[in-house]
Amino acid sequence: MNAPAAALLDARYRVGSLLARGGMSTVYRGTDTRLDRPVAIKVLDPRLAADPAFRGRLEREARSAARIDHPAVVDVYDQGQAPTGAGTGLGGDGPLLFLVMELVEGGTLRDVLRARGPLGVPAAFAVMEQVLSGLSAAHRLGLVHRDVKPENVLISRTGEVKVADFGLVTASAQAGASTAGMIMGTVAYLSPEQVATGKADARSDVYAAGIMLYELLTGAPPYGGDTAISVAYQHVNSEVPPPSQIAGEVPPELDELVLRSTRRDPAVRPADAAAMLAELHRVAVHLDVPRVPPPVPPPRPVEEQDTVPAAPQRLAAGTTGTGVGTAVSAALPVPGPRGTRALPRPDDGGPPPHVRARRRSRRAFAVWTAIVLVLALLVGVTAWWLGSGRWTEMPSLVGLEAVAAQRLLSESDLVGRVTEAYDDEVAEGLVSATDPAPLAELLRGTIVQITVSTGRPTVPQIAAGTSVADAEQALRAAGLTPVRSSGDTDDSESVPAGAVLRTDPKAGTALRVGQPVTIVVSSGESDTVKVPDVVGKDFDDAAEILEELDLRAKGRSVIPFLGRRDGQVVEQSPRAGATVERETTVTLTTV
């Protein structure tokens, strides 16, 4: 089970005891002899290592995984390969391919689930917050894990949660190293698109995280079956049930988060781990979930622990043998004559004097211990407050609703001052910016600025006849830029010259912040007019229509001296539609 003590990989890494064995690799405890630090050495299955495509892909994935610098992700230190038997002490045929990673002293989330069963809401939040934080760091770099499951979540003895094995499944799948019909990843956590097409993105990791959250709340994944195919079929064809059907203490808000994260359609899931983490924070704030440390794995069995030889025990004079039974038997009465012995004191109803003295000393010790602890606590609190205790960290609020943002600020002992502003990208009612930026160190009680989006601006309703100055002020207040030129005028019979006639675009149009809006100004009444069509009307009616347009009517009979000048109009000059100056005379021919 263990490699020889002198085994070195790459003339640098000493291979130690076996830590874990999986389907694609074996993990050993090791030592980096160059930096004198403990490491974990993952040796890949020789069948995978023999594939050149897999080796090339793994090297690229290892470089990518090493770029993730986050406390919730297991660090990748090095990768390499060595010929089997070349001083490594590890058996097998073909090249030996290995990864050198951070050593996490503890166990896996699977160990915790086996020992405790369902974790409950606070502990599940404590674990998932760290897992999603680590995944979001990878997603920001464009990396996808593809195999999120409790076995790949490590928890140290001090409660640190870390995601492991970035890139291993990706290398296997994309290098074609899987056997025929094998679906890479653990089937209980595979997203429907991985089962159907083998493709995965950040939303696939979100799906697996949702399944894992379901298991933390209920103690088991949602789907089970006799074969992997039957489980995969359920992922593709069924919706994940609410965890509250199994665990009654799960609130509806948490049910909704699990169901939204595990939708079969990737488009309706949170876009990535950061989006799911933001929703987890909103649920935690809404439910006022208490913060608890992540659960730690149970201690290893005695046979797996490092043993230390016990110090030899000195036997009392006159005793024989080496076992405990021998020592006990030496204290038993020995038959035969006995010398002088002390007789027991009669019982006076109270404990012996030495017991009473011991109790008094214990009480005094307890009192002084309590006094010292209180003084130490006071000194510690004072030092904490004078040092880091006065300071707090600005939380990340962008994208949260205003009420949730105020709650997070209150938890961080900060005071929020809300202002509203138009924003092209952030939906109405969500925080679009903060001042100062997230993660800034602030004194407790500091007032911070929160900008809440009112959405994209729209052109306001400006009444005809409004002054240009008032119209420009209204447009600027709406987040738009007023524009006016000498050519932006139009005639109007009702709006006086110099007043606003209309805007272009019209009122109610949604625009981007700062986009220009043209103000069209009235040029007043025009000196010209279009001649109306009055043919077919009686002369008097036609004359009245012309007078309303400041035109004069002049009658002329078709048959001079015989016809009527006040009859029906059969012809007009100028013709209808012609543009003429006001007070122009229009000749009407009547019959």
Q: CB-based contacts of 28: which residues, under 8 Å, 6+ apart? A: 3, 15, 16, 17, 18, 19, 40, 41, 43
Q: How far apart are CA 61 and CA 145, in angstroms?
A: 10
Establish whether 147 is a catalytic residue: yes
CA nearest to 204, candidates 273, 112, 259, 133:
273
CB atoms within 10 A of CB 67: 13
| Burial of residue 365 (number of CB atoms within 10 Å: 0-12, 13-18, 19+) | exposed
CB-CB contact of 590 with 539 (8 Å): yes
Q: Which helix (H) or strand (E) holds 139?
A: helix 121-140
Q: How far apart are CA 454 and CA 580, in angstroms?
A: 52
| 3-state secondary structure at position 583 | coil
CA nearest to 144, candidates 156, 135, 134, 155:
135
Tokens of 564: 């009527």
Report the alpha-carbon angle 187-73-150, nearest 5: 30
CB-CB contact of 131 with 103 (8 Å): no
Total residue count of the chain as it appears in this document? 591
Tokens of 360: 């008094």
Active-site pick, 147, 165, 255, 423: 147
Query: DSSP character for 26?
Result: E
CA nearest to 35, candidates 77, 74, 95, 68:
77
Q: How far apart are CA 518 and CA 112, in angstroms?
A: 66
Q: How far apart are CA 297 and CA 302, in angstroms?
A: 15
Q: Which residue has tokens 């240009």?
A: 468
Q: What are phi and psi of 80, to 5 degrees?
A: -175, -175
Tokens of 482: 């007023």
Query: Alpha helices of 288-421 — where are they, by DSSP H?
Result: 324-330, 353-384, 402-411
CB-CB contact of 503 with 459 (8 Å): yes
CA nearest to 106, candidates 15, 19, 45:
19
Cis peptide before 574 (omega within 30 of 0): yes
CA nearest to 183, candidates 203, 161, 160, 204:
204
- What is the bridge-based pairing of β-strands 500-504 and 552-557? unpaired
Q: How far apart are CA 299 and CA 305, in angstroms?
A: 9
Tokens of 242: 């609410």
Tokens of 503: 């805007």
Catalytic residues: 147
